[in-house]
Amino acid sequence: DAKTTQPNSMESNEEEPVHLPCNHSTISGTDYIHWYRQLPSQGPEYVIHGLTSNVNNRMASLAIAEDRKSSTLILHRATLRDAAVYYCILQGNAGNMLTFGGGTRLMVKP
């Protein structure tokens, strides 16, 4: 399976934008890029996913590099409730199976 690389942790100030990077240099043409996050003491929750084009939803934006070897999850205005571990995951077309890596722990300062 193609792997992803994320920083272990990042810090942000409340109400400022946050850019969470993910490298996936071995991504294949059919791999989707998914982002999930896990709030403290909860199960992971879906954030966003994309294939080639940038994507926006009410939670975040996903910017995908032209060569697809990296992507960035953008939180436009971080709040304290956004403090969580953010996982970048590649999903091949072999089904729904998702393999989670270590993720990035985002800390938000008031």
Partner 1 sequence: DAGVIQSPRHEVTEMGQEVTLRCKPISGHNSLFWYRQTMMRGLELLIYFNNNVPIDDSGMPEDRFSAKMPNASFSTLKIQPSEPRDSAVYFCASSLVGGVEKLFFGSGTQLSVL
Interface residues toward partner 1, by CB under 8 A: 32, 36, 42-46, 49, 87, 91, 95-103
Q: How many CA atoms lie within 13 A of 50 on its CB side?
A: 19
State how far the Cα of 88 lies from the Cα of 23, in Å rounded to an integer. Answer: 9
Minimum CB separation from partner 1 for residue 32, in Å?
5
Minimum CB separation from partner 1 for residue 98, in Å?
6
Phi, then psi, of 20 in degrees rounded to 5: -105, 115
Minimum CB separation from partner 1 for residue 15, in Å?
28
> Which of 31, 82 has the CB closer to partner 1?
31
Distance of CA 80 to the CA centre of its chain: 18
